[in-house]
A and B are shown apart, each in its own frame.
Chain A
């Protein structure tokens, strides 16, 4: 059974710092991996999607890496801003009957001005 773990559960850093969020998964047989952002009281917004054949994806100040063999992904946020405060969720896409997402529990990020 695929399990996704995110560490740390919560992180608080001062504005301007670079930071890394971690995600690990137990089964390397994944179709792709996604990072989502969730703001309080709102749904999820997809930030980056990495196909299983890829090593990394970049969007603006965000960079996500994938090491499928070790079951790890990282989300790197450069020059953090207060607007980056949110919960970040990692999800792997697996094929189990149908293709579906298995989520981690998320990292709650707070950027202090």
Chain B
């Protein structure tokens, strides 16, 4: 069974630029999550999708972050414009349903200069 795929693996941008991350969850998983992990901290949930609907985006900085899940499968997370404090690893995870075991992708490491 293929795992959660993410791209790109690394990205370096300058502040005020925009960036987008892509995630392909495990086939058949209805729930998809985006996390932000700042160095030395645990992951923080940014947004959770159930199929193609948002069920939780309470910690998503909506003035600069946006996310969508096209047709309830792939998802993209966008930052526009980026700030220095957005430097982090962005992890995507998926699960069969809410509350089930989450499977994580390798993450995208973002550095904002």
Contact = CB atoms under 8 A, between A and B. Distances in A.
Contacts of B40: 105
A102 B93 CA distance: 14
Interface in B34-81: 40-45, 48, 50, 55-56, 58
A103 B99 contact: no
B91 interface: yes
A98 B105 contact: no
B98 A44 contact: no
A41 interface: yes
Chain B interface: which size bin?
20 to 34
Interface in A87-110: 89, 91, 93, 96-106
A106 B43 CA distance: 10
A44 B91 CA distance: 9
Contacts of A98: 48, 50, 55-56, 98
Contacts of B105: 43
The 9 closest A-B pairs by CB, nearest first: A103-B42, A43-B104, A98-B55, A98-B56, A44-B104, A99-B99, A99-B98, A43-B106, A105-B42
B76 to A, nearest CB: 18
22 contacts: A41-B106, A42-B107, A43-B4, A43-B104, A43-B107, A44-B93, A46-B101, A91-B42, A96-B58, A98-B48, A98-B55, A98-B98, A99-B99, A100-B45, A101-B102, A102-B45, A103-B43, A104-B42, A105-B40, A105-B41, A106-B41, A106-B42
Contacts of B103: 46
Contacts of A31: 99
Given A4-B42, A89-B42, A97 B55 contact: yes
